[in-house]
Amino acid sequence: MARFDPVEGLLPALRTMPEYQALEDLDEVAARYGVDPADVIKIDGNENPFGPSPRALDALRRVDYHVEWYGDDEQTALRAALAGRLGVPAACVVAGAGSDELIEQVFRMYLGAGETIVTVSPTFGMYAFDAGLHGTRVMDVPLRDDWSIDGDALVEAARGAKAVFIASPNNPTGGLLPEALADRLLESRALLVVDEAYIEFSGARSLAARAAAEEGLLVLRTLSKWGGLAGLRVGYGVMSPRMADLFRRAKQPYNVNVAAEAAAIASIADAAILDERARIIVGERERVTRELARLEWIDPAPSHANFVLMRLTRGDGRTVRDALRRRGIFTRYFEAPRLRRHLRISIAKPEQNDRVIAAIREIGEELAHG
């Protein structure tokens, strides 16, 4: 008797879905390139080089939260802390196991097979990944050559779509969504999902307060970048009270674990330290951008995030990435055709950035005379 076939049993949308390109394991890559993991400068994942705040670390060391018990499914204390940070009602906040979980929940609640979302490429890969999981069509409106948004084309595409996903600042280009364009997109009647994972490094006004007061706008935030909690997976969404109520009813129960919740609440209490670290990262981003721009073969894109996308006129992205890996510096290379002559580098601590700049300068000399 034939048994269940796990391939034949797949939903049709999953049979041809491409794999999400996650980061490679640090130890495995270090071994492959013959470098000591302890000496690696990891600037491939846009993580915070300073790590969690002191209070968050203290919360993680404590054992007075009961890991043998389920946490608060209503996320009462966490939502109150996040709401206080943003100046919005707690009824407008929903937390998730990373903002990735909330992105997927948008698809589960509103987007099914045959429906359409709009994105602007290149951008964060989870939007298209989740669309593939759910059989949702992706209508892409490519960014212009200078990485700006084609507003008219985007609004036109939104009129025929169920939702629009925009990262602001955008990953990997670092650009912002103009608020006037957000107004036009909201008028299209599509759900506008604005992913503000890097907003703390931008100096731009968040749309979170508007999302709490207006239907049709959902703002996603995370503690992975500003809070240095990427490994704990804590994200949150800000939306109207009606939508937030639906999200809380439809989410997975106990989706934020108790250790992550404790660290997140402590991080909010340590906001002054985290904001100061963000200011240091922004200053370093500007310094690194200036230094890279002095190299005739590097064209760094203006960035409002904690990373810089640089275009290369010597070699290609993979060649330079590998040359940096041999020096113990791990950067992000993308296979997308428009990005093959690019690398994205996260901003590290000042002394690490010095090493990165020196390595890039050295590699440029090797390519010029190689």
Report pLDDT digits (tens) over 197-243. 999 999 999 999 999 999 999 999 999 999 999 999 999 999 999 99
CATH 3.40.640.10 occupies which residues in the chain?
54-269
pLDDT of res. 30: 87
Given a cut of 70, whether residue 113 has pLDDT beyond it is: yes
The predicted structure's pLDDT at residue 1: 67
Residue 62, judged by CB atoms within 10 A of its CB (0-12, 13-18, 19+), counts as exposed
Starting from the edge strand earliest in sequence, which strands make up the sheet with 93-96, in order?
93-96, 235-238, 217-222, 191-195, 163-167, 116-119, 137-140
What pLDDT does 330 receive?
A: 96
Amino acid at 136: T
Q: What is the mean pLDDT of residues 136-161?
A: 97
Q: Where in the chain is the domain with CATH 3.90.1150.10?
A: 23-46+273-369
Residues 169-189: pLDDT tens digits? 999 999 999 999 999 999 999
CATH number of 23-46+273-369: 3.90.1150.10
pTM of the predicted model as reported, rounded to 2 decimal places: 0.94
How far apart are alpha carbons 265 and 272 in whole angstroms? 14
pLDDT at residue 223 in the model:
98
Residue 71 has pLDDT above 80, yes or no: yes
User: In the CATH hierarchy, which fold is given to the domain comprising 54-269?
Assistant: Aspartate Aminotransferase; domain 2 (3.40.640)
Q: Which residue has the tokens 């200036």?
A: 290
pLDDT at 4: 87
Say yes or no to pLDDT of 26 above 80.
Answer: yes
Q: What is the mean pLDDT of the chain?
A: 94
- Mean pLDDT is lowest, of 1-10, 47-56, 109-118, 175-184, for 1-10
